[in-house]
Amino acid sequence: MMKNLFASRPPAALNAPAAVRLTVRLATFLSISGCLLAAPGFAQSYNALLIPDSLKKNARAVVREEEYILEIKSPARAVTKEHHVYTILNENGDNIGGFVSPYDKFNSINSISLSLYDAMGKELKHVKKKDMEDRSYVSEGTLMDDDRYKEYDFYYKVYPYTVDCQQEYEHNGILAFKDWEPLYSSGISTQHSKYVVIAPRDYLVRFKPVNCNYQPVITESGDKKIYTWEAGNLPARRMEPSGPKWKEIAPYVLIAPSDFEAEGYKGNISTWADFGKFISQLRTGRDVLPDDIKKKVHELTDNLKDPRQKVYVLYDFLQKNTHYISIQLGIGGLQPFPADYVASRRYGDCKALSNYMVALLKEAGITGKYVVIWGGQDMPELITDFPSFQGNHVITCVPMEKDTIWLECTSQTESPGYMGSFTGGRKAILIDEDGGHVVKTPSYSASDNTRCRVVTAEINPDGNLDAEVNTAYSGLRQELPHRLITEVSADEREKYLNRLFHLPTYKVDKSHYEEQKGTIPIVAEYLHVLSPNYASVSGKRLFIVPNLFDKSTYRLPADSVRLYDFIDKEAFTNIDSITIKIPAGYQPEAVPQEVTIDSKFGKYTASIKVMSDKIVYYRRWEEGVNRFPPSDYAGLVKFYEQLYKADHNRVVLVKN
């Protein structure tokens, strides 16, 4: 488990997922298998015909039987036994039929047994640990990682089929426990699930039900206390577009230790203060800089009077002299490499680089803070009333007299003070001298996240479009253009730009970018766009859609039955000012009326004016971060339908 936390960094390529690789055992020292297996006495139920129809509805797979037993021997040792059975109903469930189980020097696999059954319950194949592939988790961007995993796939495609798995693990080093998730993924129903924790009588097992009220049955046997959670006949649930994350709608129980020990480090996680003290313990003595770096810090900052400028200069030094590489060895998944290691090798992971940044600031007489956070757009929210190992990333912050400067230390190009979509607008744990404290990173409003576009264009008598497009992107809206500047080649950028707009055919033959750093960074983009036959020509008439480059394609199905809230996750403002020169000798025959919408779903206005030789188009669309109940769904359908129609309005010109 030790290498699963604080290993993430911002995406490194255009259109990459917001969160990069998370090790399989994120926030838990316990392995999570890709397939599940049968408890003793379950053999008579392998027949898939015995599954109730209520559990097959909307399901790609069914958890027939699940039993997970965690026996805590001491704050440093535990044994787990897993018995699971999955029935795969269709090809969408095939990812569950394959087995993947990680291990390392802290978590060893004692035994594994896998069996495959056909629809009627006949056993087709049986494999054991020795029959499985053994692989390394080392991936691109990772220098060192001692994670390995066992893997096996039956590659069976006759549905339904059932996979039975049994596993036993031994854990030397405890930091966290696996949560109980009786419904662990969208489109999977559960016939029966059971989670058992066996602990010493005097050991505190902490737990918190989320989206449910599942309470354990607690019994005692000798010097042991036994906690048992059990649930069954849970129909499959489906996530919805623009809906809540799975962790917001599925029932689960958080389970965590109190006292723990790993690799000689002891701690308690009953409070965030205790969590912070443990993280501080891991960093003790690791902020010492080499003499040459100390000298460089003073060269850069001694003549600066403004502390903020000192922070910016040192952050620039960090960016220009280090780069991100993941290093996950032993408790190194939590413990940063020393500052002198980063200084000499000029690389580190998020923990090491943030620790190094704090050390640079300290040498300049500035207090920097180490902050544990979830990095990524789709990560779960920090559950503040249940202290535990939550997070996959580390950043730095610098409390100033009137505000705080936030620093993403894994990026060589990010603006100081900007958190963006990767770590912005969420709660985190700041590690201070007295322990951990819950803080929140900056959020970005509609006025921060703008896309302002000014277009000067001309359409000739054949309908061909020639346009100069000047766009200013700010806040979250500039992240993709920023990556176009910093992370992709000219050829890749050209390919992307020529797929960007919803035009039948077009060519971007010129492009140019300029960037303005800041807590709300701005990217200015210039494009020259040629689009043959953009306007339709029919006899004497010319049909032109004045909204050249930002027509809405978003429509909601009107007959959909909404179960969960509809969430607008990002606030933004889009503004288009377009002037289109039209061929001589044409006059307007039909010009759409101005459209104005001012509702709780958003604000929108679009106007079209036709003058002697040009069309002038103006459009503004603004939305905030909102959460609408299912009862508002019909209103949302209407709102986006109005936007779609307004964006596709066209002017009809007729030749004199």
- Phi–psi pair at 493, nearest 5 degrees: -65, -40
Q: Which of these ranges, 33-47, 132-146, 275-289, 399-413, has the smallest mean pLDDT?
A: 33-47
Mean pLDDT score across all residues of the chain:
90
Smallest CA-to-CA distance from 287 within 219, 330, 341, 332 is with 341
Q: What is the pLDDT of residue 151?
A: 85
CATH T-level fold of 450-655: Jelly Rolls (2.60.120)
- Let me know: does 531 contact 467? Beta carbons within 8 Å: yes
In CATH, the number for domain 271-440 is 3.10.620.30
pLDDT given for residue 329 in this prediction: 61
Sequence-separated (6 or more) residues with CB below 8 Å from residue 220: 201, 226
Cα–Cα distance measured from residue 49 to residue 160, given in angstroms and rounded to the nearest whole number: 9
Name which of 53, 369, 14, 60 is nearest 187 in CA terms: 60
Q: How far apart are CA 310 and CA 407, in angstroms?
A: 13
DSSP result, 184-249: -STTEEEEEEEEEEEEETT---EEEEESS----EEEEETTEEEEEEEEEEE------TT---HHHH
Please report the pLDDT score of residue 18 as a whole number: 27
271-440 and 450-655, same CATH topology: no
Residues whose CB falls within 8 Å of the CB of residue 608, separated by 6 or more in sequence, listed in order: 546, 591, 592, 594, 615, 616, 617, 649, 651
Average pLDDT over residues 2-28: 33
Query: What is the per-residue DSSP string for 582-651?
Result: --TTEEEEE-PPPEEEEETTEEEEEEEEE-SSEEEEEEEEEE--EEE-GGGHHHHHHHHHHHHHHHT--E
Confidence label for 174 from pLDDT (cuts 50, 70 and 90) = confident
Q: What is the pLDDT of residue 43?
A: 47
> What is the 3-class SS of 488-534, one letter each residue?
CCHHHHHHHHCCCCCCCCCEEEEEEEEEECCCCCEEEEEEEEEECCC
Which of 2-11, 22-31, 84-93, 309-318 is the least confident region? 22-31
Give 100's pLDDT tier (boundaries 50, 70, 90): confident
Would you say residue 22 has pLDDT above 70? no
Hey, is 452 helix, strand or coil? strand
- HSE, side-chain direction, 13 A CA sphere, residue 302: 6
Q: Is the pLDDT of residue 573 over 50?
A: yes
Separation in Å, CA 469 to CA 451, 510, 527, 528? 12, 10, 5, 6
Percent residues over pLDDT 90 in the chain: 81
Please list, residue by residue across 285-317, b when 16 or more beta carbons sit within 10 angstroms of its beta carbon and e when fewer do: ebbebeeebbebbeebbeeeeebbebbbbbbeb
Q: Can you give the residue ranges of every domain in the chain?
A: 43-266, 271-440, 450-655
> Does pLDDT of 9 surpass 50?
no
Is the pLDDT assigned to residue 462 strictly greater than 70? yes
Q: How far are the Cα atoms of 486, 591, 603 from residue 594, in angstroms, in the given order? A: 40, 9, 14
Mean pLDDT, to the nearest integer, of 137-166? Answer: 78
Cα 567 from Cα 585, distance rounded (Å): 49
Lowest mean pLDDT among 13-27, 73-87, 483-497: 13-27
Kindly indicate the confidence band of residue 10, based on its pLDDT and cuts at 50, 70 and 90: very low
**Assigned CATH for 43-266:** 2.60.40.3140
Q: What is the pLDDT of residue 15?
A: 29
Backbone angles phi, psi at 115, to 5 degrees: -140, 145
Q: pLDDT (tens digit, 9 = 90+) per residue, 623-639?
A: 999 999 999 999 999 99
Q: What is the pLDDT of residue 137?
A: 66
With bands split at pLDDT 50, 70 and 90, how would you rate the model's confidence at 377? confident
pLDDT of 8 = 42
| Span of 39-53, 242-256, 284-298, 562-576 with lowest mean pLDDT | 39-53
Q: How confident is the model at residue 458 (pLDDT cuts 50, 70, 90)?
A: very high
Q: What's the pLDDT at 5?
A: 44
The whole-angstrom separation of Cα 154 and Cα 161 is 11
Alpha carbon of residue 145 to chain centroid:
22
Phi then psi for residue 366, to 5 deg, are -120, 135
Q: Are 341 and 285 in contact (CB under 8 A)?
A: no
Instruction: Check residue 11 and give its pLDDT.
Output: 34
Residue 381 has what DSSP assignment? P
Residues 90 and 156: their CA atoms lie apart, in Å, by 11
403 Cα distance to chain centroid: 27
Q: Give the HSE-up count for residue 583: Cα atoms under 13 Å, Cβ half-sphere.
A: 21
What average pLDDT does range 311-329 have in this prediction? 91
Q: Give which of 256, 211, 263, 215 is closest to 237, Cα–Cα.
A: 211
CA atoms of 650 and 169, how far apart (whole Å): 66
- Structure letter (DSSP) for residue 180: B
Tokens, residue 16:
């990459």
